Every structure is written in C-alpha cells, then in structure tokens.
C-alpha cells in the first residue's frame, strides 16, 4: 500500500471516528500505508485543537459524532472557521442524497462510504491531499444534479458590472437555495449575526427591503425572463418558501400593490393548503391580482384604435383556447386559476 509521493513527505492525517475503538482500528489500518502519518483524536475538541497546533494535511471525520447523527458535519464547519483551506473526508454511514449533499455543503473534499474497502480509503486520502475531490459515480451525480438545478443569481448595474462582492453573492445564492440564516452561517462558516449584516448591506446596495424583493430582482435578471416565476412556483410546493417569514414578506409586497407578489402569495397559500382559510386566501389574492392585471390592460389600451383592440382581444382568445401543454401536477393550479377565468370573461 506504499505510494510514491513527489514531495517525499508523508501526509499527516488526523482521524476521528464515531467511537474510540473505531478510531483506533481505522488509525491502525491506515498506518499500513507508509506514506501516511496518522494520528487519532479522542474527541471533537481534540481534533479541532490539533488543527490549530499541527499542520494536518487531511482530516478523516465520521459523519456521526458525539452521539449525534450529523455531528461530524458540525465539527467540519467549525474546523473551516479556523482554516478555510481544510481538506477533509467525511465517513458516511448512509448513502441518502441529502446526506451526501450536506457533506459537500459542510466543506468536505471527499465522501467515503463505510462499505468500501480500506484500500480505497487510502487512495481517497492521497487524492484529496493532491487537491482533488473524491466521490464515487453516484455521489458525484447527486452533487452535479443539485448544482445544475440550483438557481443562478445575478446582481449587476446598468453597465453589467457586479454590484455585490464574492461573499455577498454567496449569501444571495444560498438564500436562493432556500437556506435559513442559520444554515447559511453554517455553510459559509460565519455567525448568524454576520449573515444578517451581509443581508442588510445587500439590501442597501440593491435598493430592496426584503428577501422576496431580493430574489425577484436577482433571479429575474437571468437570460430567461420566466426564471423567477419557475423558481418560486417550483419551490412553493417543496416547502422551501412556505415558512412564516416568507409569507409575511410576500404579504407586505402584495399589500403594496405588486401583482407579481399577489400572484405569488396566492400560489403560496394554494400550495400550503393547511386549512380552508388557506384556500380562501389563495382565491382572494388570485382575484386581486386578476383585477390588477385587468386595470393594467385597460391602461395599455389607451390610444389604441378599435381595430387594434379587436385584434388584441382575438389574439388573447385564441391563446386562451389553445391546447395547454402542462404537467399533470400543474393542472390544478393553472387550469382552474381565477386569473384564467377572469381573463376569459374579460375577452367575451
């Protein structure tokens, strides 16, 4: 198991498994690779102390620590507050996608299943030490799929120059992923107070006053003009946007007369549907948004000839009567929406 190292130096590895016995067994197994200088830690505090006292190259940390199923994630986040360039491998007892994603979000450079042979773990350590990422095909697919589906946010000025710093963009990106302040703080190795301060600075820079306004601004600047709507519609049914704070912010924007916020508030209530009150509130805001759209359409007709208005009404009627191409899960929200019924009535 000995490997050639171009520097001639041994790789310093610090190990912390779920128990003292497992830690010692893993340490002994890794020491068979003579290019690894392996030391064991008997607690998370000892591991963090060793990171401060010694130049550890790679940390091997169990995902389950201190009798907590995900205690290892917390330890890795704390390690990254001391050194942002920490190279760590998380030893996973579960292959669930959410566990794999959380491991990478915590800052792991490698994820390793306990069901894999110890020889592969040595290869994993060497790989991570060389600056590479270690994951099997399935784990990498999960990470890439999550990355591809994550919304891309933009915040630019009129000349196309970024208004936000790299850290501020990370905050906004995390917000777009549906993370809370606490989760953003853990992900980026910051305190919750620092995250709040970053958000206030972002609000000032972009001239917004809430998370909802921030996401509408940044997401709507993408090349696809429907991106902001698809993001909110998708996440309103997944639970990401159903917390009380989001409803409050959307309510405030809706009360101020924003048709987009009114439609979104209707969608949020419709998706939550926790009681008959939610259904009533959803219908209420659909009606209000429809009325707003109708008023806007009347203002837009100012100055048009009768022929132009008839042409526009015919085009709208043709569009409303066309065969709809929507997914089955969208039928209940789109096909029966009050805004659709009101627009149809207006064109009669």
- Domain borders along the chain are 11-149, 150-224, 242-348
Burial 38-52 (b: 16+ CB within 10 A, else e): bebbeebeebbebbe
Give CA–CA dist 173/156, Å, rounded.
14
Whether the pTM exceeds 0.75: the reply is: no
Could you tell me what percent of the chain has a pLDDT over 90? Answer: 16
**Looking at residue 35, what is its pLDDT?**
92
Above 60 in pLDDT, residue 342?
Answer: no
- CATH dotted code for 150-224: 1.10.10.10
The per-residue pLDDT of the chain, averaged, comes to: 75
Residue 301 backbone phi and psi in degrees, to 5: -80, -10
Q: For 119-146, what is each residue's pLDDT tens digit?
A: 899 999 999 999 899 998 888 888 888 7
Q: Are 215 and 177 in contact (CB under 8 A)?
A: no
Hey, how many other C-beta atoms are within 10 angstroms of the C-beta on 227?
17
pLDDT-derived band at 31, boundaries 50, 70, 90 = very high
Hey, how many other C-beta atoms are within 10 angstroms of the C-beta on 283?
15
**Looking at residue 251, what is its pLDDT?**
77
Mean pLDDT of 199-223: 70
CATH top class, domain 11-149: alpha beta
Hey, how many other C-beta atoms are within 10 angstroms of the C-beta on 57?
17
Above 50 in pLDDT, residue 189?
Answer: yes
Mean pLDDT of 294-321: 75
pLDDT-derived band at 224, boundaries 50, 70, 90 = very low
């Amino acid at each position: 198991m000995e490997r050639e190292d171009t520097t001639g130096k041994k790789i310093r590895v610090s190990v912390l498994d779920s128990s003292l016995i497992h830690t010692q067994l893993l340490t002994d197994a890794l020491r068979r690779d003579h290019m690894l200088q392996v030391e064991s830690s008997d607690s998370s505090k000892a591991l963090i102390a060793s990171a401060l006292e010694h130049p550890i190259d790679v940390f091997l940390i169990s995902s389950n620590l201190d009798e907590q199923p995900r205690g290892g994630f917390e330890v890795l986040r704390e390690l990254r507050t001391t050194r942002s360039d920490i190279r760590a491998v998380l030893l996973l007892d579960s292959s669930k996608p959410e566990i794999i994603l959380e491991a990478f979000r915590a800052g792991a450079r490698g994820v390793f299943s306990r069901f894999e042979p110890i020889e592969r773990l040595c290869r994993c350590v060497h790989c991570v030490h060389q600056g590479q990422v270690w994951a099997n095909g399935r784990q990498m697919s999960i990470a890439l799929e999550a990355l591809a589906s994550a919304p891309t946010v933009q915040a630019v000025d009129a000349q196309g120059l970024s208004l936000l710093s790299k850290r501020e963009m990370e905050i906004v990106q995390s917000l777009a992923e549906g993370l809370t302040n606490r989760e953003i703080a853990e992900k980026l190795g910051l305190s919750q107070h620092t995250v709040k301060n970053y958000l206030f600075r972002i609000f000032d820079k972009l001239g917004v006053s809430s998370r909802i306004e921030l996401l509408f601004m940044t997401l709507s600047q993408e090349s696809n003009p429907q991106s902001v709507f698809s993001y909110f519609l998708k996440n309103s049914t997944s639970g990401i946007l159903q917390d009380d704070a989001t409803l409050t912010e959307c309510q405030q924007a809706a009360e101020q007369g924003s048709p987009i916020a009114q439609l979104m508030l209707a969608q949020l209530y419709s998706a939550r549907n926790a009681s008959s009150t939610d259904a009533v509130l959803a219908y209420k805001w659909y009606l209000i948004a429809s009325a707003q759209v109708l008023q806007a359409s009347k203002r837009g007709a100012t100055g048009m000839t009768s022929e132009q208005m008839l042409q526009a009404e015919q085009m709208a009627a043709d569009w409303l009567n066309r065969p709809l191409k929507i997914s089955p899960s969208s039928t209940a929200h789109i096909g029966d929406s009050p805004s659709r019924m009101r627009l149809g009535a207006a064109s009669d």
